Amino acid sequence: MPAGRSINSSGAITRMQQFKEPLYRKYGPVLFILAFGLMICVYTVTNKVIVGISGILVSALFAWIFYAIRTSEDATQGAKRTSWFFLVVILCVLYITYAKLMGTWSPR
């Protein structure tokens, strides 16, 4: 029997759906390390180019994760509720990126 096919109870051959695992589950540790590194760049580096690129990338990554969780049918209601935290983090990163690029950021 060819791969990707099964026989149902009536004996007819049906095509099984291929399960595609979401990227945030498949590459979770890599995305975590990437996001952590980008967040460190945003908060500690003073070079405006690096801060701008890191801020945009980490904001885009968190926005993508937020969207993926909110639209996933497999995500639990608890995961969907806690995904709103990503919006707070995105706003904080965008604020710090903007403040550093405009020269108004002065950490104590």
Neighbouring C-beta atoms of residue 55, cutoff 10 Å: 24
Per-residue confidence (pLDDT) for residue 28, from 0 to 100 = 83
Q: What is the pLDDT of residues 19-37, one digit of tens each?
A: 667 676 788 889 889 999 9
Query: How confident is residue 53, by pLDDT bands cut at 50, 70 and 90?
Result: very high
Name the pTM for this structure.
0.73
Domain boundaries, the chain: 23-102
3-state SS string for the chain = CCCCEEECCCCCEEECCCCCCCHHHHCHHHHHHHHHHHHHHHHHCCCHHHHHHHHHHHHHHHHHHHHHHHHCCCCCHHHHHHCCHHHHHHHHHHHHHHHHHHCCCCCC
| Chain segment 58-107, per-residue pLDDT in tens | 999 999 989 988 888 888 899 889 999 989 999 999 999 999 999 888 77
